Structure 1
Amino acid sequence: MRVIGLMSGTSCDAIDAAAADLAIEGDTVVLTPLGALDHPFPEGLRRELSAALPPASTSMADVCRLDTLLGQALAAAAERADRQLCEGRADLVVSHGHTLYHWTEGGRVLGTLQLGQPAWIAERTGRTVVSDLRPRDVAAGGQGAPLVSALDVMWLRDRPGAPVALNLGGIANITAVAEGREPSAYDTGPANVLLDTAVRELTGGRADRDTDGALAAAGTVHGPLLERLLAEPYYALPPPRTTGRELFDAAYLRAASEGFGRLSAEDLLATLTELTARTVADAVRAEGGTEVIASGGGTRNPTLMAALGRALGGVPVRVSDELGLPSDAKEAYAFALLGFLTVHGLPGTVPSCTGARRSVVLGSITPGREPLRPVPPVRATGGDAGAGAVTAPDRLRVAGTGPSRRSRTRTREPR
């Protein structure tokens, strides 16, 4: 099955689209990457979206507008990915949408809202769409995140030691996999979100990132500010835990910096970079990690990666590209996998990673212009499984593109 995964992350920089051929071979899902691309938000939409994110107030009219405009932007990204990456032969589109609000109280997630109306994607592309993937896990008592943990657990299950998958998006999250114990996954804290927020604040919106970490590299970590930031109660919450812009926003950064006078841009960014490195390293050590496999936009920030390497000491850090999954597109590939599991009637969560009572089939399905091609039944054995039942896959293998298939990679501006 040829699947397109769409992801719009915390950083609000673009829609990530990744395409893959996916097939089930025994206990293994085989994922063959077909390439990925970035589809920029229309500038007006990006401004409206940023203005509506917590702690800003918004209206139901704005929510309706954003749901429609995001749906149209996601539809354009899906159509382009189908044309450029799938030769117009995609079978399925899986859309994460954009998280407008993640409702948490006392460490518990009570609800989550992703915008980006899937009907626009189905209408423009004619493809069946799987969307709204997080709420089912929340309804089952989970955090609704990090959903990428399902891919990580399947992918890293047979690696030696205790590998830790790390995503450095707006928020940093890890998945720890070790033989003999249940896997664990959670958001460690901010990655790019506070760095990008600081740059926007410092430049009055003229810039939105510290490209290549150049400013941070020229600065010095401000010890007292770092200690105040590390005292944030979120870091003491037991996993599984999730967070986002509802906590780590411009107001949070201004409050944390209060009383320290005017810090230089370089020193502030150096301190925020160290915060990410330290909180990630603390989580990796708590999980007994023996290697870190990193992905996400933060891997393109050499200053952040160097800080992470220092904070981790002797724990090796590699980028997911080395294992076959492009680091810039890993989350989009993860959502492609989750939608593929959904249309096969297979669960897409790991309860020990999200905190849910049980593993559940994720998302809602919006039909395309033609019925989704029938898929072979796959169900877990045991319990009330009937005759002929097969074991649901619990492993992931990333295949090469092969000599007859064009491998397409995307170009992105550096962080």
Structure 2
Amino acid sequence: MSSCRVLGLLSGTSMDGIDVAVAELRPLGDGVAELRPVGCTELPYPAGLRERLVAALPPAELDAREFCALDTEVGRAFAEAAERGTAEFGDVDLVASLGQTLYHWVEDGRARGTTQLGQPAWIAEATGRPVIADLRARDVAAGGHGAPLAGVLDALWLAGRPGPAIALNLGGIANITVVGGPEPLAYDTGPGNALLDAAAWRVTDGAATSDLGGRLAAAGRVHPGLLAEMLADDYYRSPPPKSTGKEHFGPAYLAEAVREVALSGPDLLATLTELTAATVADACLAHAPRCVVASGGGVRNPALMAALRARLGEVELRVSDELGLPADGKEGYLTALLGWLTWNGLPGNVPGTTGAEGPRLLGSITPGAGPLRLPEPASEPVRRLRIAHSTTPREAA
């Protein structure tokens, strides 16, 4: 098993930019690996690209030309982000990309397919490094949901902690990983920031893409009727493993929900904040956790975190920064870990978290500037992940 520096790239369901994270990963022996965060950042999409991505979401009709253009332009944006990442945090051995999810096809509770944009050839051409991409499709082909892949990081990172412990990601879609039971369990709980972002865009006539700092929600009051109606969505009662996305909890969903409800912008944001807090807390409390460790963009929303703390009651709520893993960069570091596992011939999914028939090697590899030379496959699985003290870019170089 080789040690290497990996750059992780992704854009979440919020479509608010490209997350970049560089990690040093190395085996320590006896099934233990170490992840040292080097640095992370977020870069906005080029002007107009986010709006085109949002416009391509269901129920919109997307023709082949626009699909090709978006796949190419997201790939070029990811390539530029990778170049910026190596300029800021130092050179890397390989790049891993989760791309930009455009559509997650689920029917009758089963994932049938998944589409991520961001042609990896552009990243390989720009960096000269091998690129591991298309990391979800193999899990779906094996009967899984292809999400949440965060289960592999969470299961390794929280192994050995008093449990049950829950890792919570408050991205566009919220997901949890439950560690400490017979086997790890992970699933999407429902909307995280997705409906909040759609509502902020709606009530500000496009001036805001999110309720930055939760200020709109803090100025409003929860509408009990709308909250009750939205909590009745069948998704919340379907059993895990399960996954969802903006094809369900997106702008069209929000427009239909408020079609016959008259309320102010702040009241709408307050209600949607409570919806996210309620559905996340209900999912967490069903597993009787001792601690919930949160990450993702939602942890920077004080209104959401306050509502979630109130709903969790006596259950401890911590932010992943407190345990050494930067909350803003966690998904980027997850992507780097997934790439490193594939590079070393190790599965990147946890069947109990995605529903796949078994462990699978994930992704497809695009060679870099030179011939592709993979290391010898690992002789033992990784069972625990230690998060090491972060390095500065200068130390890392």
Relative to the length of structure 1, the TM-score reads: 0.92
Q: Is the 8 A contact 1:103 1:112 kept in 2?
A: yes
- Contact kept in structure 1, 2:295 and 2:320, CA below 8 Å: yes
SS state at 1:97 partner:
strand
For residues 178-189 of structure 1, the aligned pairs below 5 Å read 178-179=180-181, 181-189=182-190
Which residue does the alignment assign to 2:228?
227
Q: Tell me how far 1:259 sits from its aligned partner.
A: 2.8
Matches within 5 A, 1:146-295: 146-179=148-181, 181-260=182-261, 262-295=262-295
Q: Quick check: 1:2 aligned with 2:5?
A: yes
Q: CA deviation at 1:173?
A: 0.3
2:220 and 2:128 map into 1 onto residues whose CA distance is 51
Query: Residue 282 of structure 1 aligns to which amino acid in structure 2?
Result: D
Counterpart of 2:44 in structure 1: which amino acid?
Answer: P
**Residue aligned with 1:43, SS:** coil
Deviation for aligned residue 1:374: 4.5
Alignment of 1:376-387 (within 5 A): 376-379=376-379
Q: Distance in 2 between matches of 1:345 and 1:313?
A: 42
Tell me the number of residue pairs that the alignment of Structure 1 and Structure 2 aligns: 393
- In the alignment, is the contact (CA less than 8 A) between 2:146 and 2:354 conserved in 1? yes
CA distance in 2, matches of 1:356, 1:403: 38
Provide the secondary structure at the position in 2 that maps to 1:18.
strand
Which residue does the alignment assign to 1:384? none
Say whether residues 1:85 and 2:83 are aligned partners: no
Instruction: Return the offset for 1:289.
Output: 1.3
Say which SS state the counterpart of residue 48 (structure 2) adopts: helix
Of 93, 116, 119, 1:117 maps to: 119
- Structure 1: segments with no counterpart, 5+ residues: 380-390, 409-415
Root-mean-square deviation over aligned CA pairs: 1.5
Mapped partners of 2:395, 2:148: distance in 1:
31
CA deviation vs aligned residue, 1:321-358 (integer Å, no higher than 9, x gap): 01111001101100100000001010011001000000
What secondary structure does 2:269 align onto? helix
| Matching of residue 53 in structure 1 with residue 54 in structure 2 | no
Equivalent residue number for residue 382 of structure 1: none
Give 2:17's match in structure 1, choosing from 14, 17, 29.
14
Find the aligned partners of 2:389 and 2:200 in 1 and give their Cα distance.
Answer: 39
Amino acid at match of 1:308: L
- 3-state DSSP class of the match of 2:256? helix
Report the Cα distance in structure 1 between the residues aligned to 2:353 and 2:395, rounded to whole angstroms.
35
Distance 1:140 1:404, change over 3 A: closer
Quote how far apart the aligned CAs of 1:43 are. Answer: 1.3
Q: Does residue 97 of structure 2 align to residue 95 of structure 1?
A: yes
Asked whether the equivalents of residues 35 and 407 of structure 1 are also in contact (C-alpha less than 8 Å), the reply is no
Q: Which position in structure 1 is the counterpart of 2:46?
A: 42
Report the CA distance between 1:100 and its aligned residue: 1.0
Structure 1 counterpart of 2:36: 32
Read off the aligned partner of 1:195 and give its amino acid letter: L
Which residue does 2:382 correspond to in 1? 393
Show structure 2 runs of 5+ residues with no match: none
Are 1:17 and 1:36, in contact at CA under 8 Å, matched by a contact in 2?
Answer: yes
1:162–1:290 contact (8 Å) kept in structure 2: yes
SS in 2 for 1:6: strand
1:106 matched to 2:95? The reply is no
Which has the higher mean CA deviation after the structures are superposed, 397-406 or 353-362? 397-406
1:55 is paired with a residue whose SS is coil
Give the match's secondary structure for 2:19.
strand
User: Which residue matches 1:70?
Assistant: 74
Shift of residue 366, structure 1, vs aligned partner: 0.3
- After alignment, is 62-71 or 365-374 more displaced? 365-374
Evaluate the alpha carbon distance shift between residue 287 and residue 204 of structure 1 in structure 2; reply closer, same or farther with a 3 A threshold. same
User: Greater CA deviation, 104-113 or 243-252?
Assistant: 243-252
Q: How far apart, in 2, do the equivalents of 1:107 and 1:374 lie?
A: 37
State the TM-score, normalizing by the size of structure 2: 0.96
